[in-house]
Amino acid sequence: MKDSTPGQFPGGPVVEARPPAPGDLELVRAFVNTRNVERRTDAVDTPAGLTAWLRDRGLLDPKIDATDEDVARALAVREVLRAFCLRNNGVDCECDARVLNAAAERSGLLLDFAGGDSSLKPRQPCVDGAIGVLLAAVHRAMLDRSWGKLKACADPACLWAYYDRSKNGCSRWCNAGLCGNRDKVKRFRERQAATAAKAIDNPTAP
């Protein structure tokens, strides 16, 4: 495991200064952030971890435990969701919708009109059903256009999911002071290296 500066990153790669995403979209954001890319940790990469995470959120029947196959499918869905979030941040990346389509089909999402309103509900409270609840939240967010504000940090070493509440909707980093600053330093060094390379190519240039 990669070390992190003690006290600087409690619970994530960055100080969680941002407010949560609206409604159930926060559940999706939290699910994407079960993997901490910077710290190289994953809260749901074992059957016990996935079971606990889903149960803590009331998404899984207490009598059901996640299997290795459930974990593999959940991780695949999560990483495609992260890719979608990255695309929401203007990063050109592959987003394999077939993974989400297959997960939606397995969850057996049904339209439910109980209470005079409509919602998508999974057929069973199993792991596939729980993933279906997350996908239904994504679907709702796509309809009300809040989805485009759920982004993954543009720093490839971070990729933390955050909800962009900035006025112009152009926030690129989960934390401008950390990931944004890291990008500035990287660009500065690249410019310095390019200038040095030019000086070597043209030693007589003024």
Binding site for Zn ion (CB under 5 A): 153, 155, 158, 160, 174, 179
To the nearest whole angstrom, how small is the minimum distance from the Cβ of residue 22 to Zn ion? 21
The maximal CA–CA distance of the chain, rounded, in angstroms, is 80
- What's the closest the beta carbon of residue 149 comes to Zn ion, in angstroms? 16
Half-sphere exposure of 82 (CA within 13 A, CB side): 22
Structure tokens at 158: 């971070």
Q: Which is nearer to Zn ion, 15 or 120 (CB)?
A: 15
Specify the residue, 74 or 158, whose C-beta has the smaller distance to Zn ion.
158
Q: Among residues 51 and 175, whose Cβ is nearest to Zn ion? A: 175
Q: Do 14 and 33 form a contact (C-beta atoms < 8 A)?
A: no
Q: What are phi and psi of 126, to 5 degrees?
A: -95, -175
In whole angstroms, how close is the CB of 75 to Zn ion at the nearest point?
20
Residue 13 C-beta: closest distance to Zn ion, Å: 6
Q: Number of helices (H) and strands (E), helices first, in the chain?
A: 6, 6
Nearer to Zn ion among residue 81 and residue 174 (C-beta): 174
